[in-house]
């Protein structure tokens, strides 16, 4: 196997490549919605479970369960449910007038991997949110209740601000998750297709390196990917942390 030193040519080629630029955009869309959906629904679920008195542990156990599912298995699960020919969800979608085909329609494919990736992460977020909520002193909430604040107002003015350290931590973790750990899901569900519609950065690293055998380009991409995640974390700690109430 011969090697040749080409200095920064791999990076240069990468930024000339329109596919790589569009992969950037897709990754942004994917990680934004994955983070939003998984954190949003985890927060709602945690707030609901926090108010449940009976069978709380049962709910909790069931909600934490999906976290034990491996990403590839999670992906396969969603793939079967949404299979255009065999899937049960695809079958019902037909009655709603949606002709589901994630093998052809790039938006369908993107929706599918966002759903699968978020579902997988909800448990983890749920766990932290519920722990965070339990750390909030009961007396604060009870005092507000006595002053006549309804459950919704209590949540927004007391629970949510006091949860901000947890929310902030989860934001970082979820972004990193969407950037790095979702490879298995993409690989099982769409393999980056159709027409590269779900070719997120981490999948492109694999595809170019191990399928395309362009090891130099793939290595350059992983360096950039690492820089992005470091950058994200720095920004988050620098600017968002200031507004966090501890």
Partner 1 sequence: MKWCKQIRSVGLVMAMVVLLTTPAWAAVEIQFWHAMGGELGEHTEKIANDFNATQSEFKVVPVYKGNYTETMTAAIAAFRAGQQPHIVQVLEVGTATMMAAKGAVYPIEDVMHDHGFTLDKQGFLPAVISYYQTPEGKLLSMPFNSSTPVMWYNKDAFAKAGITKVPETWDEVEAAAKKLVAAGYDSGLSFGWQSWVMIENFSSWHNLAMGTRENGFAGLDTRFTFNNPGVKNMLARIAGWHQDKLFQYGGRRGDSLPMFINEKCAMWLNSSAYYGGIKKQAKFAFGQAMLPYEPELIDSPQNSIIGGATLWTLKGREKKDYKGVAMFMNYLTSPEVQAWWHQETGYVPITKAAWELSKKQGFYNDNPGTDTAIKQLNLNTPTPNSRGVRFGNFVQVRDIINDELEALWNGSKTAADAMDDAVEKSNKLLEKFEKANK
Q: Which is nearer to partner 1, 66 or 194 (CB)?
A: 194
- Among 48, 51, 56, 103, contact with partner 1 (rule: CB under 8 A): 103
Residue range at the interface with partner 1 (CB under 8 A); choices 80-88, 120-128, 135-143, 218-226: 80-88
- Nearest 5°: the CA angle 114, 115, 117 is 65
Q: Does 84 bind partner 1 (CB under 8 A)?
A: yes
Q: Does 195 bind partner 1 (CB under 8 A)?
A: yes
In order, the DSSP letters of 20-81 are HHHHHHHHHHHHHHHHHHHHHHHHHHHHHHHH--TTHHHHHHHHHGGGGS-HHHHHHHHHHH
CB of 105 to partner 1, least distance (A): 5
Q: Does 105 bind partner 1 (CB under 8 A)?
A: yes
The set of long-range contacts for 181-186, using a CB threshold of 8 Å and a minimum separation of 24, is 181/71, 182/30, 182/34, 182/71, 182/113, 182/117, 183/71, 184/70, 184/71, 184/72, 184/74, 184/75, 185/71, 185/72, 185/74, 185/75, 185/78, 185/113, 185/116, 185/117, 185/120, 186/75, 186/113
Q: Which is nearer to partner 1, 31 or 199 (CB)?
A: 199
Binding track, positions 38-77, relative to partner 1; x by CB under 8 A:
----------------------------------------
Q: Which is nearer to partner 1, 19 or 142 (CB)?
A: 19
Residue range at the interface with partner 1 (CB under 8 A); choices 52-60, 172-180, 205-213, 219-227: 205-213
Q: Does 216 bind partner 1 (CB under 8 A)?
A: no
Q: How many helices (H) does the chain have, and how many strands (E)?
A: 13, 0
- Among 101, 164, 222, 236, contact with partner 1 (rule: CB under 8 A): 101
Q: Name the residues that contact partner 1, by CB under 8 A.
A: 1, 83-86, 101, 103-106, 191, 193-196, 210-213
């Amino acid at each position: 196997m011969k090697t040749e030193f080409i200095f920064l040519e791999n990076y240069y080629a990468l930024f000339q490549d329109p596919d790589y630029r569009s992969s950037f955009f897709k990754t942004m869309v994917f990680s934004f919605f994955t983070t939003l959906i998984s954190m949003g629904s985890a927060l709602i679920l945690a707030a609901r479970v926090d108010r449940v008195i009976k069978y709380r542990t049962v709910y909790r156990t069931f909600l934490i369960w999906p976290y034990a599912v491996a990403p590839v298995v999670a992906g396969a699960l969603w793939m079967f449910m949404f299979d255009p020919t065999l899937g049960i969800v695809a079958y019902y979608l037909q009655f709603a007038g949606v002709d589901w085909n994630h093998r052809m329609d790039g938006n369908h494919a993107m929706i599918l991997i966002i759903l699968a990736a978020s579902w997988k992460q909800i448990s983890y977020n749920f766990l932290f949110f519920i722990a965070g909520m339990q750390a909030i002193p009961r007396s604060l909430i009870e005092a507000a209740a006595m002053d006549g604040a309804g459950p919704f107002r209590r949540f927004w003015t007391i629970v949510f601000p006091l949860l901000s350290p947890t929310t902030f931590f989860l934001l970082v973790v979820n972004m990193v998750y969407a950037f790095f750990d979702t490879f298995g899901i993409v690989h099982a569900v769409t393999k980056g297709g159709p027409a590269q519609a779900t070719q997120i950065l981490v999948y492109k690293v694999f595809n170019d390196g191990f399928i395309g055998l362009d090891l130099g380009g793939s290595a350059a991409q992983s360096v950039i990917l690492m820089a992005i995640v470091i950058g994200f974390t720095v920004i988050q700690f620098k600017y968002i942390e200031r507004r966090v109430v501890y």
